[in-house]
């Protein structure tokens, strides 16, 4: 029997497992890497468990956390929320503190994806900090990409390294570790992670041919204006978001 209690929770459990497996299948995580979480209403957070490969997750493996009714009313996220529902032995990821810090800092965030995209992480190991504002998709879809200095995973230093960047960033590279993408919902956070790795690959390919220049300031300002005016569409039926469809919409608006 499923431990999920309602249709919205069951839907979110299935979607989170599907997206975790896609991250694994696309090489953005390996082994026990990575973790995902999403708000479920105002009071609950659904998260992937510790110690289970993302390619082998089942919906019932996910851990449901309860931030408490009083905290939910005040839009606060406690450091140690109660586990509301979990299979025996299942615990949230050791990096859940990072997720909770992000939710506390950004009440608008509805979902978080933490993965280890190899090309993007490789850029953080370089002595030269690359700029990824090189194409329209990066400006409109990813926005300002933050860079958090190295902090030991699973320690308080990790959330401390990225929280200061959240006031301007939805995508953050963690030096020598991974990346974090946040969004209003899980599909958008997941697609941002895939797009981040895609843009990193474009940068590396271009870098083989010589210096890589960012888009001009005027064009960046135009794209940022479009983003602020709603270039990102609302989730389409089935709560899916297709990156290529999004880019096509942006390009059409640029032509008009």
In a domain, 161, yes or no: yes
Residue whose tokens read 């032509």 = 255
**Count of the separate structural domains present in the chain:** 1
pLDDT-based confidence at 242, cuts 50/70/90?
low
Assigned domain for 1 exists? no
Specify the pTM: 0.86
Do the domain assignments include residue 187? Answer: yes
Which range, 78-82, 175-179, 216-220, has the best average confidence (pLDDT)? 175-179
| CATH number of the domain enclosing 222 | 3.40.225.10
Domain membership of residue 199 as a residue range: 7-255
Let me know the angle formed at the C-alpha of 189 by 188 and 191, rounded to the nearest 5 degrees: 65
- Asked whether residue 81 is assigned to any structural domain, the reply reads yes
Q: So what's the pLDDT on residue 230?
A: 67
Stretch among 69-73, 206-210, 239-243 having the lowest mean pLDDT: 239-243
Residue 2 domain flag: no
Q: Tell me the mean pLDDT in the region 16-40.
A: 96
- Across the range 164-176, mean pLDDT stands at 95
């Amino acid at each position: 029997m499923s431990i999920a209690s309602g249709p919205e929770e069951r839907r979110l459990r299935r979607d989170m497992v599907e997206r975790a497996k896609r991250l694994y299948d696309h090489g953005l995580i390996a082994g026990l890497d990575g973790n995902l979480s999403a708000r479920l209403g105002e009071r609950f957070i659904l998260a992937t468990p510790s110690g289970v490969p993302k390619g082998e997750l089942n919906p019932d493996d996910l851990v449901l956390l309860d931030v408490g009714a009083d905290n939910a009313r005040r839009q606060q996220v406690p450091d140690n929320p109660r586990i509301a529902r979990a299979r025996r032995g299942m615990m949230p990821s050791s990096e859940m503190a990072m997720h909770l810090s992000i939710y506390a800092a950004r009440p608008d965030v509805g979902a978080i994806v933490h993965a280890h995209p190899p090309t993007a992480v490789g850029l953080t190991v370089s002595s030269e900090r690359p700029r990824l504002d090189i194409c329209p998709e990066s400006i409109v879809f990813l926005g300002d990409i933050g860079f958090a200095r190295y902090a030991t995973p699973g320690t308080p230093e990790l959330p401390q390294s990225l929280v200061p960047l959240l006031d301007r960033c939805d995508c953050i590279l963690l030096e020598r570790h991974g990346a974090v993408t946040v969004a209003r919902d899980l599909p958008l956070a997941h697609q941002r992670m895939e797009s981040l790795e895609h843009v990193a690959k474009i940068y590396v390919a271009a870098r083989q041919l010589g210096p890589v220049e960012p888009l001009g300031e005027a064009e960046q300002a135009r794209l940022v204006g479009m983003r602020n005016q709603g270039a990102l569409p609302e989730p389409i039926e089935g709560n899916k978001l297709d990156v290529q469809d999004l880019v096509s919409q942006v390009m059409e608006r640029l032509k008009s």
